[in-house]
Amino acid sequence: MTLPTLTLNDGFTIPALGFGTYPLVGDEGRIAVRSALKTGYRLLDSAVNYENEGVVGLAAREYLAKGKTSRGDVTVQTKLPGRHHAFDRAIASGYESLARLGLDRIDVMLIHWPNPSAGLYKEAWRALIELRERGVVRSIGVSNFNERLLDEVIADSGVVPAINQVELHPYFPQTSLVAKHAELGIVTQAWSPLGKRNAPYAEPVVVAAASRLGVTPAQVILRWHLERGSLPLPKSATPSRQAENLAVDSFTLLPEEVEAITALGRPDGRLFDGDPETHEEM
């Protein structure tokens, strides 16, 4: 299966669907990531705070050593934690992540959460720009930034993030933020793309589309992301589900199905109180 790719504003391309890795750790994590690579995933999410950069990097290196795909075809991303936002600390954190991943470079590095009350996200963004200039990181972006925070880092640095990874699923479709990303040339990555513990698998509109197409509700939801131009990062430790989640390239939803799924959105649709203005994650 060949998934489409998305081109970032720095010219690099990444697969249009990736593999979520939280909370996969240790040998179980390595086995799950290895299985994902074998299934065909070529974009692996990770973060300092998931404590799994080591096994994600190891699984990627082991898979690359088999010679079945080239280094340039595998994108590994990680995220800077809130406690490392101060400029020098963020630079050091980039080198530490690089060492834990054990790769020649970090393909994508994101600021994990803005933590506005600490007020250091602009410094953190300048550090990511510096890490890119030093060749430690290839592509840089943010996570959990809203429109105001995006405007601020862009005005401060003159550099537009390549990616913003945010909570996005049918109950929280982030329509205005996705439009803002399109305007700015930012790729939207969706975390908890299936809705995790609150997945809308039983919603009549999802069930109807699944039965029309002969696919599963999870596949309908992942296809909904692709049709809206957002890049889903489904996590599964189950090989059969990993395959199911990747097999979303051979069917399309009708525009009215996309609209009806988006209409499931509601103001209180977040999975937890993860408002970027108030949520603190160090």
Ligand X SMILES: NC(=O)c1ccc[n+]([C@@H]2O[C@H](COP(=O)([O-])OP(=O)(O)OC[C@H]3O[C@@H](n4cnc5c(N)ncnc54)[C@H](OP(=O)(O)O)[C@@H]3O)[C@@H](O)[C@H]2O)c1
- The two structure tokens encoding residue 48: 């300092």
| Closest to ligand X by CB, 105 or 241 | 241
Q: Are strands 5-7 and 13-15 parallel, antiparallel or unpaired?
A: antiparallel
Residue number with CB closer to ligand X (218 or 226)? 218
| Ramachandran category for residue 144: left, alpha or beta (phi over 0 → left; psi -120 to 50 → alpha) | left
Select which of 41, 50, 63, 171 is catalytic: 50
Q: Which is nearer to ligand X, 117 or 134 (CB)?
A: 117
Q: Distance between CA 37 and CA 268 in Å, rounded?
A: 35
Beta strands 106-111 and 137-143, pairing class: parallel
Of the pair 120, 163, the CB lying nearest ligand X is at 163
What is the closest distance, in whole angstroms, from the C-beta atom of residue 256 to ligand X in the complex?
A: 24
Distance of closest approach, residue 56 Cβ to ligand X, in angstroms: 10
Q: What's the rounded Cα separation, in Å, for the pair 94 and 137?
A: 8
For the CB of residue 190, give the shortest distance to ligand X in the complex, in Å.
8
* Catalytic annotation present for 171: no
Residue numbers of the site for ligand X (CB under 6 A)? Answer: 20-22, 45, 112, 143-144, 165, 191-196, 218, 233-238, 241, 244-245
CA distance 115 to 227: 31
Q: How far is the CB of 136 from ligand X (least distance, A)?
A: 20
Q: Which residues are catalytic?
A: 50
